Each structure stands twice: as structure tokens, then as C-alpha cells.
Chain A
Amino acid sequence: MRRAALIAVPYFWLLALFLVPFLIVMKISLSDGALAIPPYTPQLDIAEGWNGLKTFLSELDFENFVFLTTDDLYWKAYLSSFKIALISTSLALLIGYPIAYSMARAAPEWRPTLLMLIILPFWTSFLIRVYAWMGILANEGLLNQFLLWTGIISEPLTILNTNTAVYIGIVYTYLPFMILPIYSALEKMDDSLLEAAEDLGCSRTSAFWLVTIPLSKTGIIAGCFLVFIPTLGEFVIPSLLGGSQTLMIGKVLWEEFFNNRDWPVASAVAIILLLILIIPIILFQRNEQKQREMEG
């Protein structure tokens, strides 16, 4: 009896506030837009019983999804989100790996402090961390002032409101997600393996590529997915740092919903975004499972 109550409370909470809302999104993505409140048809009329349900179901269709394929705005938005996520993930890996590697080489008594310094920004507001870059990247901002002062450039660069600013913002906010899994893989690595490789005639560089990189592979894969997956649906960074030409699907969904008030199309955009996300999520979970098996 107690056990049933214990299961039922969180179960029904999640059913009511996660699964049901999700089913509503699916339903509305199959509805048509209308100038009404709420702005879509058909509405399910429970009073009419079975017949009501039948007419309701017969009016649902895939029109919005067809619409998404014909309007190339959406294609471009999905492709450009994918591109932006891919480029930012690679940049985060290039910047994050040396940091994680150096953390793992630091003296053991330093490591907890270094780890805390990596985690600390996590606790600070995401919005503030993105905002911090607005003052730096602006035309008259600090970066341009600095570059002009050193004489590297003779006129200010336009960085804010371009894709470059979006890459910087994403790498900055998601870098800890890349560093932590790589660090935890490298920290467990046995150093005698490197010595063995060198004894057997490997140069330091080839020992790095042949021993260190393969041993940190699961960390690299986990880090890449942890950056890639949330970036794909990102909204705050493109809308604050990106320009009008920065197309990302999270932003399109937001605008479709709040500015155009087209709920059915916004729901269809959401469903397709989820379908795209399923593949990297499954790959990520496989990688995690493999890691657990290796450790267990």
C-alpha cells in the first residue's frame, strides 16, 4: 500500500506535467492554425462523445509538416543549427582537451581546486555569462579597443551579431561540459603505459596519439555529445549574440510561437527538432554504457 503510494506520486506528476503536455504538442502539430482562442482547430468536444472524437480525429493531418518541407526557412534553420552545433563542438574540443589534459597532469593536491574552478561557472547564471560577452565583442567593445591599441587592426571588427559571436558564446558557456568527461578519463589513465610506449621506441608525440588519445576516447565522445545536444536547441545565445542572419531552430520556434502566434507550426518545428535529437542521444547513451561496461 505504502509502496503503491510512493510510486504513484512521482509517476502521476510526470505523467501530468511531462507526458500529457508532450502529447498535446503532438496533437497541435497535426491541427490547423485559426484566428481564435486558442489559435488552432479542431477542438475536441467531449460532450459529443464518440462522434465528437471521430470528427476531431478526421480533421487532424500532416499539413504543418508538409508546410515545413516546402518553406526553405525551416530547412535552412535546421541545417544551420546543425552546422553551428558541429563547429562549436569542434572548437570546444580543441580548446577543452589541452585544459583537461593539463588538469590531469597537475599535482594531485591541486586537482580538486582546479576542478572546482571549472565547475564554479556552472553555478553562475547562464544569461549573465552570455551577457558578459556583449560588452566585450561590441564594435566599441573591449576586444576591439584592445586590438586597436596593440595595432593588430586599424578599424574595429564586427563580431557581435554575427555567427562568430555565437561560436564564442557557445564555446564559453559549454566548455566545462567538454572538459569534465575528458578530465575524468585522463585522470584514471595509468602513466606507466606512456613510459612503456617510450621504452618501446615511441616518440612523445606518437605516444600521445597512440596511447593517450585512444584511452580518453570515451571522454571525448561524451564531451562532444554534451556540447552538441543542448547546442542544437539553443535559444539564448543566438538571440543575444547572433544577428538577424543567424538562423537557429530554437530561435525560429520561439519567434513562430511568440511573434507569429502560429502554434501548430511551432509544435511541428518542436517535433522535428526532437526527432533529429533522438539519434545523438542514443549514440551518447551507447557510449556511456560502453564506458560502464569497461569499468565494471
Chain B
Amino acid sequence: MKRFSWFNITALTLGFAFLYLPMIILVIYSFNESKLVTVWAGFSTKWYAELMQNEAFLNAAWVTIKVAVFSSTLATVLGTMAAYVLVRAGRFSGRTLFSGMIYAPLVMPEVITGLSLLLLFIGIGLDRGVLTIVLAHTTFAMCYVSVVVSSRLVSFDRSLEEAALDLGCSPWQAFRLVTLPIIAPAVISGWLLAFTLSLDDLVIASFTAGPSATTLPIKIFSAVRLGVSPEINALSTIMIAIVTVGVISASLISKQASLKQQRDEQAAARG
């Protein structure tokens, strides 16, 4: 029997208040009438209206979404391949270097990753824009994807794949029909992780973006440096709302999927 005391309740209440109050305050003040973010002057949605008029923010948001979709998709393909190589390809020359290159970007400070990629793009004369940001984001996101996917690959029963091969599947068919459905949850969460990492990234994008392409975090950062503004609060509220809805529906879907799987397994066991 675990003891759940007043101390535990207080710690959790204070802890979650610390984690969530700043965000709640941010959301509340996005509906403030006053330009001063710290003085409450009545309810208003005018900052949202103004945000919708702001071409620069809308353009940046569009660029950010494009970059995130392309880079996370590319990162998922490359990361899944990398995970498969790490877990299944056995020995090959340069394997140590390969796994080193997968894990190093995870601990590399963003300023260094950004700096090194910028120096590469300048070195080969590639103009900075959407393409360079996509390349940069794909590179660090694929490492996260491959860590997520390889932990799933390690834990699953290889005999399933072998059975498919014995029954006449080609290796590609075995991957597509057996392996992929089993690792699908990990691949999807890898994609989501890559997508949010890309949406979120300021430092690497600042190094690799050119004048022709500005992402939303870069735009927010340069606005925020000058101080707090209700328009940024409104923008943050929209982003928080999207994330909350996304995460909650994703967890509901995965819960339902696992319930369905349980039912199917029970049905199969009953024959």
C-alpha cells in the first residue's frame, strides 16, 4: 500500500501550477484590450484580428509549415532506414562511425549544429532559403526518429519476419507487410517528433535561413527581443491550442487502437 500524503498533494499542486500557470497567464492576456500586456483592460479579440492582417507573420507561418512537412517526412524515411541499418544490417565497415553520427547530433548544442551547416552551405555555394532549412532540419530530426524507431525494432520478434521470408516474401515485401505495420506506431511518433522539432527550432533555422525565407520562430524571436506584445500572445495561444488538441487526440487514437488490438487478440484466442 503506497502512502499518499498531504506532502504529495502539495508537491503535485505546486509543481503543476509552476508548469502551467505561465502558459495560462499568457493565454488570458492574449484577450486583453490594452496594448500593455501587464494591465488588464477588458476582454477583446482584436489582437487575433490584427494577427490575421499581419502578412509577415502569415508568410512566416506558411514557410514554417512547409519546412516542417518536408523535413519531417524526409527525416522519417531516412531515420527509419538508419534504425533498420543499426538494428538489422549486422556488421559493415564504418558501423561505429555510423552509430556515432546518429547519436552525436542529439547532444550537440544547437548553436554548433547551426554554425557548421551554415559554413557548409556557404562553402558549396548553396543559396540559403527553404531548401537549406529543410536539409538542416532533416539531418538532426532523422537522428531522433532513428532512436525512436530502433527502440521498437529491438523489441519485436524477428521470427515474424523470418516466417514471411520462408513463406516466399521478398525482403521488401516482408518489410512492407510484416515489419512496417508492427513498427508503425514508432514511425508515426517519430514523424510527430520530427515535425514539432522543426516547428519549434529557432537556433538552427536562424543560421540556415536566408533573407528569402523566414520561419515563424525567427519572426517571433526578433519581435520578442523588443519586449512583450499582445499580438505574440495571440499567436502563442493559437500554437498552444493546436498542440493541445493534437496531443490529446493522438493519445486518444492510440488508446483506441490498443483497445482494438486487445479485442482482436482476445477474439483470435477464442477462435
Contact = CB atoms under 8 A, between A and B. Distances in A.
Contact of B122 (A9, A38, A267): A38
Nearest to A176: B19
A136 to B, nearest CB: 6
Contact of A103 (B12, B146, B239): B12
Interface in B4-27: 4-5, 7-9, 11-12, 15-16, 18-20, 22-23, 25-26
Interface residues of B, number: 80
Interface of B: 1-5, 7-9, 11-12, 15-16, 18-20, 22-23, 25-26, 29, 37-38, 78-79, 81-82, 84-85, 89, 92, 94, 97-98, 101-102, 104-105, 107-112, 115-117, 119-120, 122-123, 135-136, 138-139, 142, 146, 171-172, 196, 199-200, 202-203, 217, 220-221, 224-225, 227-228, 232-233, 236, 239-240, 243-244, 246-247, 251
Contacts of B239: 124-125, 128
Interface in A209-239: 229-230, 232-233, 235-236, 239
A21 B171 contact: no
How many A residues are at the interface, by size bracket?
A: 35 or more
A124 B240 contact: yes
Nearest to A38: B122
24 contacts: A7-B89, A9-B78, A11-B85, A17-B120, A18-B105, A21-B117, A28-B119, A98-B15, A103-B12, A105-B8, A106-B4, A107-B2, A117-B20, A118-B19, A125-B199, A129-B23, A132-B26, A138-B228, A145-B38, A175-B18, A266-B115, A267-B119, A270-B111, A273-B109
Contact of B117 (A17, A175, A254): A17
Given A95-B18, A124-B243, A233 B109 contact: yes
A49 B120 CA distance: 22
Contact of B38 (A6, A107, A142, A253): A142
Contact of B8 (A106, A121, A141, A266): A106
Contact of A102 (B11, B23, B199, B251): B11
B224 to A, nearest CB: 5
Contacts of B98: 7, 10-11, 14
A129 B22 CA distance: 8
A19 interface: yes
Contacts of A9: 78, 81
B220 A142 contact: no
Contact of B111 (A118, A172, A235): A235
